[in-house]
Amino acid sequence: MMKDIPYELDRSIGYKLTIASRLASNRLNQQFRDAGYPVTYEQWILVSYLWKRDGQTQNRLARLSRKDQPSVSRLIDNMIRRGMVIRVPHPEDRRTNLIYLTDYCRSILDDLAVKAYQTIEEIYKGFTSEEREFTAKMVDRIIKNLD
């Protein structure tokens, strides 16, 4: 039993991952803001999925991004206000909408990707290519263990 082992928050992998995630998303938000783009890290996740395959349902975007429906709906509402995406009624299911990138959003995709890449490079600063690969594999394993 682990009852005798004292819990140390600073040694908790969950706590460390949370801090790293927050710092990374804050850095990317700052990169986007400094470049004048009306995009947040959370919106970038949805944009990335739509970039791969435009015209997805909110339900699918929620599953892909591992977010709940209300959160995705709020993100999309904000993205519509910012001119980044549009909702189009599904041709076969009137209860469902498809989400598409706007021409404006498509026009800034490459720049957004550069900012995301720069943030990734900051995250991995000082890592060898082997350390990068190992770290990504370990985080993937953590995700798989908890999924």
d(CA 32, CA 54): 22
> Are 101 and 54 within 8 A, CB to CB?
yes
pTM for this one?
Answer: 0.88
CB 17 within 8 Å of CB 142: yes
- Judge whether residue 77 has pLDDT over 90: yes
For the segment 20-63, what is each residue's pLDDT rounded down to a tens digit? 999 999 999 999 999 999 999 999 999 999 999 999 999 999 99
Paired tokens of 128: 């060898």
Q: What does 75-133 look like in DSSP terms, one character per residue?
A: HHHHHHHTTSEEEEE-SS-TT-EEEEE-HHHHHHHHHHHHHHHHHHHHHTTT--HHHHH
CA atoms 33, 45, 70, 91: torsion sign: positive
pLDDT of the residue at 8: 86
Q: Answer yes or no: is pLDDT of 3 > 70.
A: no
